[in-house]
Structure 1
Amino acid sequence: MVGTVTDETTDQPIEGAMVRLADFAGSVRETLSGPAGGFVFDGVVPGEYVFGVRRIGYEGLSTPLEIGPDALATLNLRLTPRAILMEPLNVDIEGRPPRLAETGFYDRLEEGWGTYFEPEWIRTRSAGFIRLSHFVSNLQMRAPLSRCSQVPVYYDERLIGQAAGWGTSKAASINAAGLHRSAVGPAPRILDELSVTDVGAAELYTPPAPIPLFAFNDTTAACGAIILWSDWTARTAEVPQIEVKLCEPAGRPGEVALDGFVEDELTEVRLPAAHVYASYAIPDGAGRSDLAVRTDSLGRYRLCDLPAGVAVELEAAYGPDPGLSTVVDAASGTEVQLTVPVTVPGAITGLVVNEGTGRPFQNVPVVLVGTDFRAVTGTAGRFSIEDLPPGSYRIRAVCEGFESIAQDVALVPGASVRVMLALRPEGPLPPRRCAD
């Protein structure tokens, strides 16, 4: 089975698209499209499959595919660039980044609720600062300090820790434990990931100023809040072109290289420009060595010239989102897949009923058309399909002897959508195994 992947608007080949072929027995095969957009699956047996293609910056494709005994012609797949939906903006001041305007930053600036630092101010006054916590202290010197000893800090609407408030003589390092799964907080190198170069704009609020709704709670009402926006948010809405050159091993005896990919944990889309951190004990007992590299445009990374056989702790991060660490032994040819929970999953729950009687159905399959996501109703006719990537789905209940009308569902990140699926008898005597 062969095919090509191209851009629908430019007809140019797409390199690095994740092409997936899954059968209904649970077997999954994956490959990446090459520089000319081509891909190949060898030894595909006839049968029914779910075929999918994903690439960052494009709409995903997923569709049922039946492969017969005769060889398939070349599949020509055309991906549509992922549109970024925005409400119309009336921009009166030149240079306002659309993504920052979407957050309501400029609306709040015009209201004058707090103290505001626009992208140009951040760029021209961040020289000499590296750690984000130190730069936050600099921002507070230009605004009234809260009377609380600690002030909550938000980054792109997410609580990332506390900074020093009134009566303190030294800036407190931001404790990002709230973003990470470790109860004691992340290792120091993760704190270094949040540097001044990651900030594109900032807002500071001191009581009794109104607090934006996403940050409003009892603590911020009493102590105020520091709200930071990433440099990515402050830029334009274009998908950035990432150019990262992977290292080349020197080939010295006793040294090896580790290769792998960094993926979104939920969607399995590979992440360009993600950070990969590595740490290992130096064999002669001279302490530990810490390395940091970035993935290239295809989400690949490489760590060169590692001592063969050492235990290497690996951890990936994509912006402020960290992944879980893993430990592997450095060996020639080792490839390690790392994941980062970037996409927030959603869920579809609901009830399957008899349209005529209103009574629930049990043991009825519920499927998302064109995907391998499915569930079965319980004794009360309820079902739940969880850990779903955001997107548009068509959901259907399947029961022999009953007519089912599919429903379209739009799922946003972190949402749980409830639906009711009604089955209509196709004849007077449907099979008893599907009776309510």
Structure 2
Amino acid sequence: MTEPLTRGRRGPAAAMVRASLFAVALAAIPAVVPDGMAAQEAVEVAGTVVDDGTGEPVDGATVRLADASGSARETITGADGAFAFAQVAPGTYALAVRRFGYELLSTPLEVDAQQPPRVDVRLTPQAIPLDPLEVGVEGRPPDLVESGFYHRMEEGWGTFFEPEWIEASKVGFVRMKDYLWVLQNRAPLSRCEKVPVYLDRRPIGTTPGWGTDDAYPGGIFTVGLDRLPPLLEEMSVSDLGAAELYQPGTKIPMFAWTFTTAVCGAVILWSDWTARLPEIPKIEVKLCESRGRPEEVALDGFVEDEVTEVRLPAAHVSASYANPEDPGGLERVETVVRTDSLGRYRVCDLPEGVVIHLTPEYGPHAGGPLVALAAADGDALKLTVPVTSPATITGMVLNEATSALMEGARIVLVDTDFRTVTNAAGRFSLEDLPPGSYTIRAVCAGYTGSPQEVELAEGGNVAVVLRLRATDLARRGTCSI
């Protein structure tokens, strides 16, 4: 039997990528058994995960199957892209597949005792920008970031021209002074006769304004503008990387604040070198191979983002353990390895039975340590690093007819395992959520209501109001109102 599946929700924005799910092969999920299902009814479900573009198996994908109560099991695909779970009771489940470089995919799955579904998961690859990486993940030039350019832009100080816009608009211009009118026409022009121009924090000349400010005839605060160095005359437009325009009476960066700029505003230019992105080196990591010496073992695992559960390539894993050859037990052996493109790491040639401390790092972010025993048949150890800032949804549930707050209503993020219940004041909070798009709904026996779409930014907090209306079965409801 082939079971057609559809995607139930969009994955986390910052961290996941679009994927499509079509029907194929599932067999073997243990112990996700809904209430009331007999053990003898359990079936096997198995399948494969492949790249939608190439058809190649996807190694290292995490496959998760959850029942209606939230109980779930996970497994990881092997080199052939196959996964398997065993003894799945018939019923409705949520199947989710995630892999670094692909979108989180979540969809309902019906399991039939007579015809166990076979499902083929096809994922569409796409690069995922994770913030922050070691080298400018957001695509923002580090030198321009350090100048305060983006901070002022996000605070809404003036009119900003980012490197991409500058690069596209300066085509056909040669001299900087001829190009400035392009910038000035994008914002209300100063009524001063001359407007100071700065380059990389230094005054370099003036550009014509709209006229003479009536409040300051003769330019009482413009004395000395003619003595500014005439560097602007010498500049080529090819030297420009970004720009800021400030109008009279607005916030102005301290390095450009004078009586003149307070009255007439300022044009702040940033040279091309400040707007350059560093080259991101290609990091190829090959996991170590154990030398197979007696009484030595290797320890395997993977590193992922604590919030989005995205696998992290090129993360560092520090491993240390007490040297078994030191009689005093004070000497420690330390080593550092890196994860490969699939977020996997391996520490080789460990004395069997030693207690090892593992600490992951990803760029400037460090995860908590994990203590494990080095064993020949040990499971893969998951390490997490808090790269993405979690988001929160808060809100309340109201009786649509009476506007009374409803205690005991269940709050569900559709097609996810996130849920909670409203408190005595009818309020709720869902915390530690990955950023992304969600559908949220309130559930109470005897009541009905419409779900809402919620978009969560990284570290964001969204407030919602959910309304429920009574049905003919409202008297049987379990909510308090």
Q: Does 1:46 align with 2:90?
A: yes
CA distance in 1, matches of 2:425, 2:144: 44
SS of aligned partner of 1:34? coil
Change (3 A) 1:312 1:345: same
CA distance in 1, matches of 2:79, 2:370: 31
Q: Does 1:22 align with 2:66?
A: yes
Q: 2:436 corresponds to which letter in structure 1?
A: G
CA distance in 1, matches of 2:88, 2:477: 38
Q: Does 1:330 align with 2:387?
A: no
- Residue 100 of structure 1 corresponds to 140
CA distance in 1, matches of 2:353, 2:478: 58
SS of aligned partner of 1:41? strand
Q: TM-score, normalised by structure 1?
A: 0.63
CA distance in 1, matches of 2:313, 2:138: 23
Change (3 A) 1:15 1:290: same
Q: Which has the higher contact order (CA 8 A, sep 6+)?
A: 2
Q: How does 1:201-216 map to 2 (within 5 A)?
A: 208-209=254-255
CA RMSD of aligned residues (A): 3.6
CA distance in 2, matches of 1:435, 1:345: 31
SS of aligned partner of 1:433? coil
Q: TM-score, normalised by structure 2?
A: 0.57
Change (3 A) 1:391 1:235: farther
- Residue 150 of structure 1 corresponds to none
Q: Does 1:425 align with 2:465?
A: no
Asked if the contact 2:410/2:444 (under 8 Å) is kept, the reply is yes
SS of aligned partner of 1:42? strand
Instruction: Please state how far the C-alpha of 1:246 moved relative to its aligned partner.
Output: 1.4
CA distance in 1, matches of 2:461, 2:81: 36
Q: 2:104 corresponds to which letter in structure 1?
A: G
Q: How does 1:278-289 map to 2 (within 5 A)?
A: 278-285=319-326, 287-289=331-333
Cα deviations across residues 169-207 of structure 1 (Å, max 9, x unaligned)?
xxxxxxxxxxxxxxxxxxxxxxxxxxxxxxxxxxxxxx9
Instruction: Please state how far the C-alpha of 1:349 moved relative to its aligned partner.
Output: 0.9
- Residue 373 of structure 1 corresponds to 418
SS of aligned partner of 2:140? helix
Equivalent of residue 64 in structure 1, options 108, 115, 122: 108
Identity %: 51
* Structure 1 alignment gaps of length 5 or more: 86-95, 112-117, 119-142, 145-206, 211-228
SS of aligned partner of 1:99? coil
CA distance in 2, matches of 1:248, 1:342: 29
- Residue 265 of structure 1 corresponds to 306
- Residue 364 of structure 1 corresponds to 409
- Residue 386 of structure 1 corresponds to 431
Asked if the contact 1:100/1:235 (under 8 Å) is kept, the reply is no
Q: How does 1:154-165 map to 2 (within 5 A)?
A: none
- Residue 410 of structure 1 corresponds to 455
Q: 1:62 corresponds to which letter in structure 2?
A: S
Q: 1:311 corresponds to which letter in structure 2?
A: V
Change (3 A) 1:270 1:71: farther
Change (3 A) 1:347 1:98: closer
Q: How does 1:52-131 map to 2 (within 5 A)?
A: 52-82=96-126, 99-100=139-140, 105=145
Change (3 A) 1:430 1:412: same
Instruction: Please state how far the C-alpha of 1:268 moved relative to its aligned partner.
Output: 2.8
Cα deviations across residues 74-115 of structure 1 (Å, max 9, x unaligned)?
212233445779xxxxxxxxxx9981259964996799xxxx
Asked if the contact 2:111/2:117 (under 8 Å) is kept, the reply is no
Say how many residue pairs are matched.
312
Instruction: Please state how far the C-alpha of 1:399 moved relative to its aligned partner.
Output: 1.8
- Residue 315 of structure 1 corresponds to 359
Change (3 A) 1:102 1:28: farther
Instruction: Please state how far the C-alpha of 1:12 moved relative to its aligned partner.
Output: 4.3
- Residue 161 of structure 1 corresponds to none
Q: Does 1:275 align with 2:319?
A: no
Q: 1:100 corresponds to which letter in structure 2?
A: R
Change (3 A) 1:340 1:79: same
Equivalent of residue 254 in structure 1, options 276, 295, 311: 295
Change (3 A) 1:102 1:68: farther
CA distance in 1, matches of 2:400, 2:59: 48
Change (3 A) 1:365 1:103: farther
CA distance in 2, matches of 1:252, 1:429: 70
Larger Cα-atom Rg: 2
CA distance in 1, matches of 2:67, 2:454: 24
Change (3 A) 1:394 1:234: farther
Asked if the contact 1:401/1:427 (under 8 Å) is kept, the reply is yes
